[in-house]
Amino acid sequence: MIQTNSLFNKINFNGGNLSSDGGSILLSQFLEKINLKKLLDSIPFVDLRHLPVYSNTNILFQQIIKCLLGYNDQSDQKILINDPLLSLKS
């Protein structure tokens, strides 16, 4: 059982910034609980990019979250980048 949720401390519940993906809080907590990022870090990526902004681990993690939430297309990125809840977990 999840004891505390520090993400709730960063979210404004006054109705100003709304998210349609409230379930992503539980998904995020579950992925943290199973240490998914640590598992992804253990994958030996071959990165030939020059001065990458995001690590391959972060990109893969974001893709997994997008797919689990039902956002399968790259065009959905325009919606997700402005979502106040999902942008906290990037």
pLDDT tens for each residue of the chain, 90 residues long: 555 556 566 666 666 655 666 677 788 788 889 999 899 999 998 889 888 888 898 888 888 888 888 887 777 777 777 776 666 544
Q: Rounded CA gap, 32 and 28, in Å?
A: 6
User: Residue 83 domain-assigned?
Assistant: yes
Amino acid at 58: N
Asked if residue 74 lies in contact with residue 7, where contact means CB atoms within 8 angstroms, the answer is no
Question: Domain range spanning residue 27?
Answer: 20-88
Give pTM, 2 decimals.
Answer: 0.63
pLDDT for the residue numbered 90: 45
Domain count, the chain: 1
Give me the helix-helix angle, 24-33 and 56-68, nearest 10°.
130
pLDDT for the residue numbered 45: 87
Residue tagged 């990165």 (tokens) = 47
User: Residue 44 domain-assigned?
Assistant: yes
